[in-house]
Structure 1
Amino acid sequence: MTHADLNTGMVWRLHHGDQEIARLNVTGADMPWMHADIEELPGFEEFRPVFTEQEQAADEEDWDRLEDCFERIRSALTMTFPDGTPVAEFWLRIHGDGTAGWRWYGEPLDEVNS
């Protein structure tokens, strides 16, 4: 991961299995959070309900439900850096207005926390 991957205009990608389902077009960063406009691709619609539930859980400060949504997202989806290498771990929120915010880690969280 290079510093250039954080630049506005860079594209991170969201995958379900081998299928690219969304492109995250970076609009800025407020470290540790990245921000982007999302370009939905075929296959994304299947995951819209979990992102909607996640946003509701955050608005309602239902932290257990929010954590459950993050786990469901991370177990079903993967993310790649603009150079195509996999992101080891991420917390992703996709908002109803077509924007996204995420933070990422260079290694799995179970290794970060151990």
Structure 2
Amino acid sequence: MTNANLATGSVWRLHHRDQEVARLTVTGADMPWTHADVETLPGFEEFRPLFAEQERAVDEEDWEQIDACDFRIRSALTMTFPDGSPVAEFMLHIHDDGTAGWRWHDEPFDTANQ
């Protein structure tokens, strides 16, 4: 992970299959979270209700529902670093105000031991 990935103005990309559906332009970092402004692209709208559901679950501290939403997001979407390389694992929140926050890991999470 390079500091360039966290630099203000760097652009991470969100994909559904082979289609880029959003660009996340970094506005700052509060480790382990990275924050960004979101530019939605064609194909994103089908996921907006899922992110809204996730946000409601966070507000209600419904941990089981948060986990379910995170799983659905990671199952449907992939993320790339500014250099185009894939992000192995991520936890992404896209808010109604056009901002996002996420954390990532360089290697897939080991779900077998959870």
Question: Taking structure 2 as the reference length, what is the TM-score of the superposition?
Answer: 0.96
CA RMSD of aligned residues (A): 1.2
Query: How far 1:96 moved relative to its partner?
Result: 0.6
Q: Which runs of 5+ in 1 are unaligned?
A: none
- Structure 1 residue ranges, 4+ long, deviating more than 6 angstroms after superposition: none
Letter matched to residue 30 of structure 2: D
SS of aligned partner of 2:110: helix
Q: 2:61 maps to which residue?
A: 61
Q: 2:100 maps to which residue?
A: 100
Alignment of 1:21-60 (within 5 A): 21-60=21-60
Structure 1 Cα separation of the partners of residues 37 and 2 of structure 2: 21
Q: Deviations over 1:30-65 (max 9, x none)?
A: 000000000000000000010000000000000100
Query: How far 1:2 moved relative to its partner?
Result: 1.5
Question: Taking structure 1 as the reference length, what is the TM-score of the superposition?
Answer: 0.96
SS of aligned partner of 1:97: coil
Structure 2 Cα separation of the partners of residues 33 and 44 of structure 1: 22
Structure 1 Cα separation of the partners of residues 81 and 89 of structure 2: 11
Structure 2 Cα separation of the partners of residues 104 and 64 of structure 1: 20
Query: How far 1:92 moved relative to its partner?
Result: 0.1
Aligned residues: 113
Structure 2 Cα separation of the partners of residues 15 and 4 of structure 1: 21
Identity score, percent: 73
Letter matched to residue 4 of structure 1: A
